[in-house]
Structure 1
Amino acid sequence: MLYLIVGLVLLGIGSNFAGKIFEKIKLPSLLGMILLGMILGPGIFNLIPEIIIRYSSFIKDMALITVLFIGGLGISLNQIKKIGKPAILLSSVPAILEGFTVGFLSMKFLNFTFIQGGILGFIIAAVSPAVLIPAMVNLIMEKRGEEKAIPQLLLVGASADDTIAITLFTTFISLYFSKVSENNISIFQQILNIPISIFISIIVGIILGKISKIFLEKIKNIYLKTIFIFLLCLSMRQIEKIYHIDLYNSLLSIMILGFYIRNFCGDGYKEILEKLNKIWKIGKLYLFSLVGMAINPNVIGNYFYIGILILSISLTVRSIGVLISLIGTELNYKERIFCVIAYLPKATVQSAKAGIPLEMGIVGGEIMQGLAILSVIVTAPIGAILIEATKKKLLEQKREEAII
């Protein structure tokens, strides 16, 4: 345990230092943290102790649930009324269009079957919560895009986007093995799982919000309140991962829990927000560096150029999907362009799912792993840089008192 603690302290110091260096050269600090993790991780120099790698998923979860709950605290009821329909479209249209685009391109350029292409397509199609959510939380803090609830729109859309992409990924894997074993599965039932999963996740968040309200009213110490909320969120995440619940997205439930507490539990949420912001300042050092450790550039192999071509086309189609989702909204052309940019980064899902097809013995699994990792290496830095570089030019800053 001492070895783990010392290793984490050193990693945190190194991650903070790398972030500061990138800030000095006018680049997002998260890029320095990701790069540090990639260099020190198994993909390059392999200098990270095995015990940290073993606990990396749990540590990333702690950081991710913190920033996602903070994001939920940044959404008001009035904003939900503004973003309802476009958030639903953003959660589905871009991911579905991109996933099937990658699938069809894989058939042409990689000689994949449609099912193999679908597996790869819906690994790549998910937007990265690790990159997008912290960026949107920063925008809420800066009051940029608040008048039209743009950060909140992207937060809600991205949370459900992952559910759709992962569900379709597992659906295509099921189709692959059903074909191999000549067993029939219900595609309709698999697709129906998507709205059911989103609905169940929202209901769980609301129910836990009602329960939390009772406890928060009884607990007087702000530190105990914060610990209670943190442990509740962590429990939701671990239950999903341990029991592999297909019809439940803990990340969406956590954001809904934050939304409920912000809107129905009085002004006490502000104190919780203040404490969680302090936790996030430390948590982000580990979230981004550990995401970097999962990136292995060596697996890209001989598919770099064809991968760049596929990604260029698929991201173009994804961007069209974002613009389609925003039809009928009050957003001007600058704000729509920003939404397109914010939906580019990939990291978390791709790093976690890239190796699964290969591990399961799916034909072409090594190619899928390489292209999924390539999508992270290309889009995570480009997306993060563009979000930071364009936010002041494309989004107006609200002058009134901050919402949170």
Structure 2
Amino acid sequence: MSNVYQDTNIELEGVCESTSLQNDSRIRQSSETEIETPKRCVGLHICCQKISKPLLTKSHPLPENPSICQRLKYSFLCPPHGNLAWYMQFLILVGITWTVLVSLTHSEALPGGNFFSLFVLFYGAIVGGYFISFFKLPPLLGMLIVGAALRNIPVVKIVGESISMPWSSALRQTALTVILIRAGLGLDPQALRKLSFTVLRLAFIPCLAECCAEAVAAHFLLGFPWEWGFMLGFVLAAVSPAVVVPSLLSLSDRGFGLDKGIPTLVIAAASVDDVLAITGFGVVLGIAFSKGDIALTIVKGPLEALLGVVYGIIVGVIMWYLPSKDTNNPALYRSLLLLGAGMLATFGSSVVHLSGAGPLGCLTLAFIAALRWRKEAEKEGDNGINDMVGLLWMIFQPLLFGLIGAAVDVNAIDGSTVGLAMGTLAIGLFIRLCASFGAVLFSGLSTKEMLFIPIAWLPKATVQAAIGGIALDEATKRGDANLMALGTSVLTIAVLSIVVTAPIGAALIAIFGPLWLEKRKEDEDCNDNEVDDAS
């Protein structure tokens, strides 16, 4: 028995030894594999580094004073950065958008389709606005030029001609809603209460004077009915915040006119001027498209304005309490409510034939809602509403100005009409310049500063693009050829006013602002100190 046990123990020991040897060999093999694998990865990593090193920005940083060649070389290094990264991102976004449109709409997203035309117009307007900004001109001018080119250049005019009129009208009215919401949110009640008599004069006198002058000129030169003449007058009388505000802020940042508060004076009066023009346009629009008794027609205009204000107040107060305070991300829901209520005012008023109530209702509801939201923002921090609405404007701005440009058919414009239209615009601008100078008399400004105010009050763009096509849209719905001809004339003259006054006004503000406005002494002292330190 003992021999059997010994033999068994010997066999077991042999098995254990062999098993341990196998385990040891496996461990050695696995360890060798684990050691060899990182070596290969490290080698591959080193090889990739050597190959990619000449192409990496971190391996070739810019010197302190780089030359043009060094900057050009640096712009093409990896990873993508600066303008090249923006261009790549833009092209990728263009491709993704078009691919999605083709997947959803098929032939409509191919050349000749409505969505393809809107796609080309949208991105083309963005590119046009980007390139025109290099010449220190408002981007909206480039967007307008691209839209007009897509409608009138022989090879590509199929893009402008393929845009559906209902889609164009709906998108432009949506853009108008966004503009009015931004204007309502930007009205500061405290600033409005503190407005001096000079600001009120500057807001009302030039606008009403230009409106009346252009109404008379349009009646006698262009043969417009009186209501259409005043409609054109209110379209052309509004100044452009898109041009005036950035130009004045640029002067303000450099210290020009701050001692007399000229940038604040012009910017504050611009908002009131636009409200007056939009309100007057809404009233006259209601009168022009009303039927029946003349007395009822006259009363209907102010009644529409009153209904718009009432709607804005009621909906604005409701938005004080919606969404509830415990809602996550209230800025998003407030923005959606603002946009929805504004579009209801804009489109709903047209459906019930009270078109004059829509714009004023949209403006009022944003102003009323912002009264409470602004107080909450002072306690809890920025509520983000302006950023949300600003994002919407970035989307709809190229659509608005591109569609306005695409609505102008150069071949359908009579040369004599253009000449008379330019004469009408020139008469209105001359009266505005004189009225603006008279509005700031005895306000404590110097002669040069009083001469600068009319120049700053010259550019037209945003409001003209927003409301210039509304009369044509209303006439198209009625199917009246005479009204459609008048609406087309109003839109054409509105586009001409943008093309003429926006670049000229922006250039004149940039030229005469530093020449005629006094620079704040503190800024001059700072500049002198910088020169002394440099010397």
Within-5 A mapping of 1:199-214: 199-214=306-321
| Runs of at least 5 residues in structure 2 that lack an aligned partner in the other structure | 1-103, 253-260, 523-535
2:192 corresponds in structure 1 to 80
Counterpart Cα distance in 1 of 2:230 and 2:238: 18
Bigger radius of gyration, 1 or 2? 2
Q: CA deviation at 1:130?
A: 10
Q: 1:108 to 1:275 in 2, by over 3 A?
A: closer
CA contact (8 A) 1:226 1:272 kept: yes
Q: Distance in 2 between matches of 1:350 and 1:390?
A: 25
**Per-residue CA distance 1:283-342 (angstroms, 9 max, x = gap):** 211111112122233333132323322321132224444455556767751562245214
1:34 offset after TM fit, Å? 0.8
- Partner of residue 180, structure 2: 68
Report what 1:402 is aligned to. none
Equivalent pairs, count: 385
Post-superposition Cα deviations, 1:112-132, rounded to whole Å, max 9, x if no partner, equal 4xxx44144223212469982
Give, in whole Å, the separation in 2 of the partners of 1:17 and 1:130: 27
- Maintained 8 Å contact 1:73/1:269: no
Listed as ranges, the gaps of 5+ residues in structure 1 are 400-404
Residues 316 and 128 of structure 1, relative CA distance in 2, 3 Å threshold: closer
2:338 pairs with 1:229: yes
Give, in whole Å, the separation in 1 of the partners of 2:216 and 2:225.
7
Equivalent-residue separation in structure 1 for 2:251 and 2:273 (angstroms): 19
Following the alignment from structure 1 to structure 2, what is the Cα–Cα distance between the partners of residues 373 and 43?
A: 20
Output the CA distance in 2 between the equivalents of 1:320 and 1:201.
33
Which amino acid is 2:431 matched to? V
Deviations 1:59-106 (A, max 9, x none): 223333334323333332221123486676667654544444344435
- CA distance 1:125–1:201, shift in 2 (3 Å): same
Identity of aligned residues (%): 17
> Is the counterpart of residue 291 in structure 1 residue 400 in structure 2?
no
Distance 1:318 1:129 in 2: 8
For 1:341, what is the secondary structure of its paired residue?
Answer: coil
Q: Which moved more, 1:158-167 or 1:247-256?
A: 247-256
| Contact 1:95–1:318 under 8 Å retained in 2 | yes
Distance 1:274 1:172 in 2: 37
- CA distance in 2 between counterparts of 1:251 and 1:372 reads 23
Distance 1:245 1:84 in 2: 34
Query: Which of 104, 111, 124 does residue 232 from structure 2 map onto?
Result: 124
Describe the superposition over 1:225-256 as per-residue Cα deviations: whole angstroms up to 9, x where unpaired: 33333223222222222223256223432552
Q: Is the 8 A contact 1:22 1:28 kept in 2?
A: yes
Q: Which amino acid aligns with 2:327?
A: I
By relative contact order (CA 8 Å, sep 6+), the higher-ranking structure is: 1
CA distance in 1 between partners of 2:372 and 2:249 (Å): 18
Counterparts of 1:329 and 1:338, CA distance in 2? 17
Q: How far apart, CA to CA, are the structure 1 residues paired with 2:230 and 2:181?
A: 26
User: Would you say the 8 A contact 1:91–1:159 is kept in 2?
Assistant: no
CA distances 1:326-377 after superposition (whole Å, capped 9, x unpaired):
56767751562245214688444333325867953559x74x4565344224
- Distance (Å, rounded) in 2 between the aligned partners of 1:235 and 1:146: 38
Q: Is 1:240 matched with 2:349?
A: yes
Residue 104 and residue 147 in structure 1: after superposition, are their counterparts in 2 closer, same or farther (change >3 A)?
closer
User: Residue 38 in 1 paired to residue 148 in 2?
Assistant: yes
SS of 1:70 mapped into structure 2:
helix
Is 1:274 aligned to residue 387 of structure 2? Answer: yes
Q: Which amino acid aligns with 2:264?
A: K
Q: Residues 127-276 of structure 1 correspond to what in structure 2 (within 5 A)? A: 127=235, 132-135=240-243, 138=246, 144=252, 148-171=264-287, 184-185=294-295, 189=299, 193-194=301-302, 197-216=304-323, 217-221=325-329, 222-246=331-355, 248=357, 249-257=360-368, 259-261=370-372, 263-267=374-378, 270-276=383-389
2:422 maps to 308
Residue 207 of structure 2 contacts residue 432 of structure 2 at CA under 8 Å; is this kept in 1? yes
Q: 1:231–1:184: structure 2 CA closer, same or farther, 3 Å change rule? A: closer
Question: What letter matches 1:55 in structure 2?
Answer: W
Q: Separation in 2 of the partners of 1:397 and 1:197? A: 46
1:20 counterpart (127, 130, 137): 130
2:117–2:159 Cα contact (<8 Å) kept: no
SS at match of 2:226: helix
Offset at residue 279 of structure 1 (A)? 2.6
Contact 1:89–1:325 (8 Å) recurs in 2 = yes
TM-score, normalised to structure 2, is 0.60
Assess, with a 3 A threshold, how the Cα gap between structure 1 residues 223 and 128 changes in structure 2: closer, same or farther: farther
